[in-house]
Structure 1
Amino acid sequence: MNTNNFIRKVIKKDLNKKKYFKIKTRFAPEPNGYLHLGHAKSLYINYNIAKDFNGKCNIRFDDSNPSKIKKKYIKSIKKDIKWLGFKIDNVCYTSNYFLKIYNYAVELIKKKLAYVDELNSKEIKKYRGTLKTIGKNSPYRNRSVNDNLKLFKEMKEGKFKEGKMCLRAKINMLSPIMIMRDPILYRIKYKEHIKTGNEWCIYPMYDFSHCISDALEKITHSICTLEFMDNKNLYNWILKNITIKNKPKQYEFSRLNVEYNIMSKRYINKLINKKIIKKWDDPRILTITGLKKRGYTPFSIMDFCSRTGVTKQNNIIEMSLLENCIKNDLNKNFPRAMAIINPIKIILENIPDGYEERLIINNHPINKNMGKRKIYFNREIYIDKYDFININKNKYNHPIIGNEIRLKNAYNIIIKYIIKNKDGVIKKIICTCKHEKNQNYKYIKIIHWISVLHSIPAKFYLYKRLFNKINPLKEKKLINNINKKSLIIKNGFVEESLKTAKIGNKYQFEREGYYCLDKIDNKSNNLIFNLIINLNNKYRNKNI
């Protein structure tokens, strides 16, 4: 990350002027869904700013709307934060401050800066006006302080139905800034809260509770994304008009947008409801659980957050940046293995039945500390069918009999003849093996392979981008832009050395790509691997 971005410059200036002696930031997710890559960047920014300036960073769950929050989301967010490698100083909840927030609402009423309104939601919207037309005052705007206090107390006591009344700030219905046209501060909700139970039936709106929670926690710099720029006016107005000691300042940076992806929890929920994806951990979306399931590492995600920087300019980040971050990590730190994703059987006719040769090879071409492993060479092997196909103007032709090919870490083989079924599909290829050591193969194609006798059945989930458009949310119908080939499932084999692989283990399957072991099928004993990222092999990638 640029250690001299505009937020850090502000903080340095504040410290030099002794405006603050201790920096305190916060990461405030709403537990109404799972964390995504945008949340990870916000956490990364807040945490590292606090760390680098010897300050502190709070986690605060914005649980002010009991209709949306769930315990499973809180549990998941905590788990993701820990997995990403963050050690947070303090975990807080907006609900911890409900009584204090309520008292500040009473204070605004007493100052004639808030009133109880009986307009319904449609009427409030109509009275508010538009960006082109001014708003007009509610007929209930000029109630007496005593009437407002009485009605607000009765709202708290549950004497009115949902939607019957709300508490609004009395600011300016003529303001060019829409949010300043008497925003709602409290609404009635008869919904049990996961932490406070049925203690409350009125709940503060986010804009009211958020700034007060920041002040109560002594946050110095409230860092958020650009869509909250107008909200800063209300943030400052509330803190100015209540008797609270601390006055945090809000600073905005550009929201993270990644091409061919969405990170809106609302739209992800739509995808789940439409059964386009199953759950929040689908590897095709950029939730932290989805990225983890696909095989992304905490380091790669933090590396990506660092590279995207902190600016006020909205833009769309290329997906290749995220892919390069994971590829760099996997290439250096994870072992190699061999997998056959599109298997076809080779019979080496000059190798006798029962013959077996054990070969010892490195797990990593450079990092010798990763050790070695055994592979086996036999009469029957699997190779990938695309290694026996040449592309010529998009037409597939079988190679000439007599072609010589090198088996990686083993020997050269020569194609003798091809056996097909009645439909013309290749069943197996008969070859001969040049069973010689130290053969010259400088100008011979090298392919990967697996012994049939020492193979393990596996399924490969090959993921591509979920959307066909760079910016899916700009399209009229999100669903119409779904890539119907975003998931392809293949049945193949992996080498026997992976029989002890654990869930989450990652490998570079040579000449194929990087894969993560997602699960083991209890019925078939198949290992199920998720594609993390392809290697730079355009021909092979085209055919998955």
Structure 2
Amino acid sequence: MSAPTDRPAAANFVSDLVVADNAQGTFGGRVQTRFPPEPNGYLHIGHAKAITVDFELAREFGGQCKLRFDDTNPDTEDTTYADAIVDDVAWLGYTVDEPVYTSDYFEQLFRWAEMFIEQGLAYVDEQDGETISAQRGGYGNPGVESPHRDRPSEESLDLFRRMRDGEFADGSKVLRAKIDMQHENMQLRDPVMYRIRSGHHHRTGEAWKVYPTYDWAHGQSDAIEGVTHSLCTLEFDSHRPLYDWYLDQLARMGELPFEQPRQTEFARLELTHTVTSKRKLLQLVEQGLVDGWDDPRMPTLRGLRKRGYPAESIREFCSFIGVSRTNSRNEIELLESFVRTRLNRVAQRRMAVLRPLEVVIDNWPVDDSGAPVVEQVELVNNPENADDGTRTAPFSGRFWIEQDDFMAEPPPKYYRLTPGREVRLRGAFFVTCVGFDSDDDGNVERVHVTYDPETRGGNAPDGRKVKSTMHWVSADHAVDISVALYERLFSAEVPGEATGDVFDDLDANSRELLTECKAEPSLADVAPGDVVQFERLGYFAHDADQPRLFHRTVGLRDEWANIQKRKG
């Protein structure tokens, strides 16, 4: 069972919303979206859904989607992150002609804030953040108005401009919208619009000493750009009334250059065995629990890319799960099934042995010089794609097999190599085990077989059958490689559910590095970053920076299909 691509597309209420808007002539038929990450970290699988929703919606309706960096916090943002985000979005399959930045609009946002002050809609508050937070009250509890709430507009305007000029210390003053301290929606209890930050901004340097909050910058940046459908995840649902309030004031002032944009929220992407909190991911990196942001166990797009996940699979997965208004957690096995299905179609096959056991053919012929004869056997590169053709691999009198492919005392229904049993070697010959050598502790060191020269290509002229076909690598021609095997970084389906701390479910043994693996010679030609199928073992990505290191992308077994069978 492969990825369920034959199932009807999941519901997408956002597309339905745009269809209704176009039918009513809303926005004049325009569709413009934006993906607005903050450049303070690397994108992860959760962002992939937001990216596909924003870009695919624009593509579906012939519109436009912009990448806009919400760079309003100089303390945590950096050009390195911005460059990485551009690269990740492009890798995922979406063209970004030229990203835009909230900092492009700092002058306009500041001017609009001045207008709010002049019209009595904002004021400078000199209380500290802790006091302001306490005065907001809570759900069912009234707020307390700031003693500075009714200060004259002229005074607030003067203070606000002096805040911009850098006269005051960080945290000493903020600009707050003047809305309703008793409103049932906490977001409307005089929210902060600007705060003082004296740090270096990655684009504007030290030019600014005040920076807009997300809620003030977000909707206004949408308005400046002409965004029609501002798509956010569900945690911003309570922010929508504030989004609308700010825009309503600007519309009343005649300041909006386009139709007033509309915010719509959809469910974020959550996966089992996965943590996407930026803070938690940063902790993993800083504590050395993973090898950086591109560690193949990380849910970052950089990590998934390094592990060999095709971008197409991620897009297909995001489209399949649909866009809804209800949060849910998807099985990571479903994502892996999309990865496996695509790689099965496009990945070339190669043979590799991860835990080698030597096999010697006792009746293998030698040439006139006494050296073992070398045969070249033909192997199919990809049975799913005839255009990929075939390759040849050397075969001689000594080869490697997996340790698990031989047992001196096999259990019932074990069909691989055992004393007296005949098996097929992929594309080569039938061989029969005639003995084995062990060390002083009884560990098998070497297996002895005989071969049937009439079975070249893996078929017997007399029609006899064998129950097992095994992969192999010629010992005299093998390429040495290292292979990294991965398990779930977090063992629990919902990390932290049992104890409240996700790190209690961290699997410290989630990676196993095998350094004595053997592979057929043609594996040396696999380009860095490419993914191949190691026959019978799974899909493996060639590391882009470390020669002959391969990361297991995903196994061959469709675990998602098994989960569905159990549920059924």
Asked whether 1:295 is paired with 2:303, we answer no
Contact 2:410 2:418 in 1 (8 A): no
Q: Counterpart of 1:326? A: 339
SS of residue in 2 equivalent to 1:20: helix
Q: Counterpart of 2:32? A: 24
Contact 1:519 1:529 in 2 (8 A): no
User: How far apart in 1 are the matches of 2:416 and 2:339?
Assistant: 36
User: How far apart in 2 are the matches of 1:98 and 1:85?
Assistant: 30
Q: Counterpart of 1:423? A: 441
Q: Counterpart of 1:514? A: 539
Render the CA deviation track for 1:352-407: whole Å, top value 9, x for unaligned: 442211112211124221021111111110000001147759xx999752122211
Q: Counterpart of 1:467? A: 490
Contact 1:344 1:382 in 2 (8 A): yes
Residue of 66, 72, 78 corresponding to 1:64: 72
Give the AA of the match of 2:473: I
TM-score where L is the length of structure 2: 0.90
User: How far apart in 1 are the matches of 2:116 and 2:558?
Assistant: 64
User: How far apart in 2 are the matches of 1:479 and 1:255?
Assistant: 22
User: How far apart in 1 are the matches of 2:523 and 2:260?
Assistant: 57
Residue of 509, 531, 534 corresponding to 1:485: 509
User: How far apart in 1 are the matches of 2:531 and 2:83?
Assistant: 26
Give the AA of the match of 1:17: Q
SS of residue in 1 equivalent to 2:271: coil
Once the two structures are TM-superposed, the CA of residue 274 in structure 1 deviates from its matched residue by 1.7
User: How far apart in 1 are the matches of 2:558 and 2:329?
Assistant: 26
Residue of 348, 356, 379 corresponding to 2:374: 356
User: How far apart in 2 are the matches of 1:80 and 1:349?
Assistant: 54
- The 1:426–1:4 alpha-carbon spacing in structure 2 relative to 1, beyond 3 Å, is closer
Once the two structures are TM-superposed, the CA of residue 511 in structure 1 deviates from its matched residue by 0.5
Q: Counterpart of 2:91? A: 83
Asked whether 1:235 is paired with 2:243, we answer yes
Q: Counterpart of 2:530? A: 505
Contact 1:2 1:310 in 2 (8 A): no
- The 1:109–1:29 alpha-carbon spacing in structure 2 relative to 1, beyond 3 Å, is same
SS of residue in 2 equivalent to 1:229: helix
Asked whether 1:51 is paired with 2:70, we answer no
Contact 2:58 2:64 in 1 (8 A): yes
Mind listing any 5+ residue stretches in structure 2 that lack a counterpart? 1-7, 366-370, 560-568
User: How far apart in 2 are the matches of 1:30 and 1:532?
Assistant: 29
Residue of 89, 92, 95 corresponding to 2:100: 92
Residue of 305, 311, 320 corresponding to 2:318: 305
- The 1:520–1:123 alpha-carbon spacing in structure 2 relative to 1, beyond 3 Å, is closer
Contact 1:262 1:473 in 2 (8 A): no
Contact 2:10 2:322 in 1 (8 A): no
Q: Counterpart of 1:202? A: 210
User: How far apart in 1 are the matches of 2:226 and 2:197?
Assistant: 29
User: How far apart in 2 are the matches of 1:529 and 1:274?
Assistant: 25
Q: Counterpart of 1:533? A: 554
SS of residue in 2 equivalent to 1:424: coil
Render the CA deviation track for 1:153-211: whole Å, top value 9, x for unaligned: 11111111001111111112222222111111100001111111111010000110010
SS of residue in 1 equivalent to 2:484: strand
User: How far apart in 1 are the matches of 2:74 and 2:189?
Assistant: 25
User: How far apart in 1 are the matches of 2:110 and 2:465?
Assistant: 78
User: How far apart in 2 are the matches of 1:255 and 1:403?
Assistant: 54
Give the AA of the match of 1:358: Q
SS of residue in 1 equivalent to 2:436: strand
SS of residue in 2 equivalent to 1:285: coil
Q: Counterpart of 2:16? A: 9
User: How far apart in 2 are the matches of 1:253 and 1:481?
Assistant: 28
SS of residue in 2 equivalent to 1:257: strand
- The 1:154–1:81 alpha-carbon spacing in structure 2 relative to 1, beyond 3 Å, is same
SS of residue in 1 equivalent to 2:269: coil
Q: After TM superposition, what 4+ stretches of structure 1 lie above 3 angstroms from structure 2? A: 1-4, 389-393, 396-400
% identical equivalent positions: 36
Contact 2:273 2:488 in 1 (8 A): yes
Asked whether 1:407 is paired with 2:418, we answer no
State how 1:91-490 maps to structure 2 within 5 Å.
Answer: 91-242=99-250, 243=253, 244-245=255-256, 246-352=259-365, 353-389=371-407, 392=411, 400-437=418-455, 438-439=459-460, 440=463, 442-474=465-497, 475-490=499-514
Contact 1:57 1:90 in 2 (8 A): no
Contact 1:461 1:528 in 2 (8 A): yes
Moved more, 211-220 or 114-123: 114-123
Once the two structures are TM-superposed, the CA of residue 273 in structure 1 deviates from its matched residue by 1.4
Contact 1:57 1:89 in 2 (8 A): no
User: How far apart in 2 are the matches of 1:216 and 1:417?
Assistant: 79
SS of residue in 2 equivalent to 1:209: helix
Give the AA of the match of 1:443: V
SS of residue in 2 equivalent to 1:34: coil
Q: Counterpart of 2:565? A: none
